[in-house]
Structure 1
Amino acid sequence: MTTPNSTPDNTTPLDVTVIPYEQLKPHLGKIITRFRSGEGEPVFFGVDDVTAEAAIIPFSDWLRLAAHDAENEEQFQAEVARRVRESDARRAAGESEPTMSLDEFTTSLRETWSKEQRGKDRDE
């Protein structure tokens, strides 16, 4: 059944075909054959045919995603370190009060990071 995915915290703007996990086992051989032939469309499955809970993807796609995540994590940590250094420098210069709360810092970092990633993803 093709249905919008409405799983909490896993919303997607895509309509996907969801296979109930009870029906997945007989299809695994065909899925692997498709992956080997280069037809690497993900297979979504869940407890029913409405809610996608997981996906099966080709291993090469998983490696690519893992490398992308590792690169993004390194860049994210570099941005956090840069901001901490800037904050330390301000304090050393006599600005003893934080310029923003931890919540404000987190929100600012999230907003900046999201904008940078959207721009980067468009460039790729």
Structure 2
Amino acid sequence: MTRNDNAPDTGLPKFPVNVAATNQITQTHLSALLSLYRRGEIEPLIFGDDNKPEAAIVPFAAFVRLMKYDHANHVHEEAAFQAELSRRTQESDATGPSMTVEELAESLGPLGRQWADEHRAARQEKRDE
């Protein structure tokens, strides 16, 4: 393993990681790691090529925590997006129809563009039925 102080830009502070070269990881390494996890250790195995972290093996409990956190964060972002979309729609209705709901959604950034695309696709599916 090597030392790498150039962790990927994840919005987290920079931190050192030990990167194992992908072709050097063996079944013995994975078995030993699983034994450590069963004893309560939580340090991930970070691996990749060219000393670049690309993936990590973490205990399943840590994975579940991350998924719960991501889901809660997504729900919060979605609620904030829906509230802002509703506010802008009401504002637009009060001043006269100048934008469609999809156009309003798109003005809210990547989440809005995704929502608008999904909304258009669903509407098109209904038309095609």
* Fold shared per TM-score above 0.5: yes
Q: Which residue of 2 aligns with 1:85?
A: 86
Q: What is the CA deviation profile of residues 30-70 of structure 1, one whole-angstrom value per residue up to 9, with x for unaligned ones? A: 1001111001111110123x111100100000001001111
Give the direction of change, closer, same or farther, for the CA distance of 1:84–1:10 in structure 2 (3 Å limit): closer
Letter in 2 for 1:106: G
Superposed CA RMSD: 2.7
Whole-Å separation in 2 of the counterparts to 1:65 and 1:77 = 18
Letter in 2 for 1:77: E
Question: Normalised by the size of structure 1, how large is the TM-score?
Answer: 0.71
Whole-Å separation in 1 of the counterparts to 2:73 and 2:32 = 34
The residue correspondences of 1:84-103 to structure 2 (distance < 5 A) are 84-94=85-95, 102=106
Q: Which residue of 2 aligns with 1:106?
A: 109
The residue correspondences of 1:60-75 to structure 2 (distance < 5 A) are 60-75=61-76
Q: Which residue of 1 aligns with 2:17?
A: 16
- Any unmatched runs of 5+ in structure 1? 110-124
Q: What is the CA deviation profile of residues 74-99 of structure 1, one whole-angstrom value per residue up to 9, with x for unaligned ones? A: 1111111001100111012116557x
Give 1:35's match in structure 2, choosing from 34, 37, 45. 37
Question: Normalised by the size of structure 2, how large is the TM-score?
Answer: 0.68
Q: Which residue of 2 aligns with 1:116?
A: none
* Greater RCO structure (CA 8 Å; 6+ sep): 1
For these two proteins, the number of residue pairs brought into alignment is 104
Q: Which residue of 1 aligns with 2:59?
A: 58
Tell me, yes or no, if the aligned pair for 1:4 and 1:16 is still in contact at 8 Å.
yes
- % identity of equivalent residues: 26
Structure showing greater Rg: 2
